[in-house]
Amino acid sequence: MMSDLMAMFKNAIKEAKLEHLKQKDEIDWINTDEAKELLNIKSKTKMQQLRSAGEIVFTKYGKKIKYSKKSILEILNKHAKL
């Protein structure tokens, strides 16, 4: 029961974050930490795997990597369970 409540709470937070990102169209690029948080990913290795597989749109300038919010939202919608 407590785990169900926690899952609902986490889902509500994720949905609120997604809605917030949709409203901020003026800034399409987010950093690695923001992308990991949104995707609920802990490791940089998993982010590298997503980049290598072409599942996520990114850009790199020097050592800085930025991710497209739009591509992250598409991944989340693609894997959404109704």
- The string of pLDDT tens digits covering residues 27-74 is 689 999 999 999 999 999 999 999 999 989 999 999 999 999 988 988
The answer to whether the pTM exceeds 0.75 is no
Containing 6, the helix (H) or strand (E) segment is helix 2-23
Q: How many Å apart are CA 48 and CA 22, to the nearest integer? A: 24
pLDDT at 23 (0 to 100): 64
Of residues 8 and 26, more confidently modeled: 8
Q: Token pair of 21, please?
A: 């990102």
> Which of these ranges, 9-13, 19-23, 47-51, 73-77, has the smallest mean pLDDT?
19-23
- Beta strands at 58-61 and 29-31: parallel, antiparallel or unpaired: unpaired
Dihedral of alpha carbons 43, 81, 75, 50, sign: positive
Contact 29, 67 (CB under 8 A): yes
The ranges assigned to domains in the chain are 2-78
